[in-house]
Amino acid sequence: MEFPFLEVVIGFMILVYIFETYLDLRQYSALKLPTLPKTLEGVVSQEKFEKSQAYRLERSHFHFVHEFVTILMHSVILFFRVLPWFWKKMKYCIALHFLAGLMIWSKITSLPFSLYSIFVIEARHGFNKRTIWLFFRDMFKEICLIVILAPPIVSAAILIVQKGGYYSVIYLWALVFILSLVMMTIYPILIAPLFNKFTPLPEGQLREKIEMLASSVEFPLKKLFVVDGSTRSSHSNAYMYGFFNNKRIVLYDTLIQQCKNDEEIVAVIGHELGHWKLNHVLYFFIANQIGALFYIGGYTLVRNWSSLFQSFGFHTRPLIIGLIIFQYTIIPIQPLVYFVHNLVSRAFEFQADAFAKKLGYGSSIQASLVRLQEENLSAMNIDPWYSVYHYTHPTLVERLAAVGETDKEGCSA
């Protein structure tokens, strides 16, 4: 009797869904608490708390529905052998055609959820700024990019697997490594401008303060941009990118609008510079490459496993099907990887906050954290189990406590 791979995979999918739903229910109960955490009383305004509570509860309702539909759809696809049926219907097409079909299916099934999330929930709570025309224009651009970029990448990967022999793992990893560097280089320069407008930050005190801060920590700042994030959403952010001595900082226009003064904005940049100075970006890049190597190694081990393919309804072993099946087989270890990643990420966030404080922005980073928490209507009451498993950033309460005693007068809305 052959091992029931398919049934085990579906079983683990359902177990992970049940576990994560339990955490979601714990967080839902936390969101319904009628009062702020004691440490945020007088720090976060009651009005913002009530708005964030309404927003997060509605997003929670949406999440429950979305996750249930997702697990149901995947279970049906696997149990009723939809993938092998689709493969046969396409007359054993080439891999690119099959991937195109999967992409179309993915877009169709996710579209109602995307539309409802953006044009109902986000709009109702004042975040959505995009029009339906802009939404579909962005989606068209995304599809065009996939059509342009996917064929040569997939073709190269298939050729490596077919011709690489014993060294195919190394060759595939080298391809992933090169692609990572290329995408990190071209995305902010060629791809991101297709969706947003990037303009140099105007001369003035804010620019001078950011440049002085960058110089004080020897950050090789070459360009400083403002991106028109407000054309799509009122959520705010800031980030940096670039290799070696060609670093660039990008501020969302919404961040500039929401912060009370230049010091709060500069404090956010100080936090981001902390990630750079402490090599957090480099550590995550190395970790991702190690993860990619293990992923590729695991795939090459199972891609010729006939009984695995047969359990999923395939009597041949197409390379692209092997990759899809492998993604399902690693479901049991994904929560652990997810958990460890978030643990490290939260530790890095504490370190970056401490770096900003060391630069002299202790009170300003506290004020900016509260400001962004309020403006983004982030959850104020957070279940600890949910936070430990899901959050890449510590909670506001944890971050304020780590930076130091909150200056209520400076941070209150």
Mind listing the pLDDT tens digit for each residue in 26-47?
A: 999 999 999 999 989 888 889 9
> Does residue 349 have a known ligand-binding role?
yes
Low-confidence ranges of the chain (pLDDT < 50): 405-413
> Does residue 275 have a known ligand-binding role?
yes
> Does residue 271 have a known ligand-binding role?
yes
For residue 370, the number of C-alpha atoms closer than 13 Å in the C-beta half-sphere is 28
Provide the pLDDT for residue 9.
93
Rounded to an integer, what distance in angstroms lies between the CA atom of residue 20 and that of residue 389? Answer: 9
Provide the pLDDT for residue 92.
52
Return the active site residues.
272, 353
Provide the pLDDT for residue 408.
42
Provide the pLDDT for residue 358.
93
Provide the pLDDT for residue 406.
40
Provide the pLDDT for residue 405.
47
Provide the pLDDT for residue 151.
86
Provide the pLDDT for residue 26.
97
Rounded to an integer, what distance in angstroms lies between the CA atom of residue 373 and that of residue 369? Answer: 6
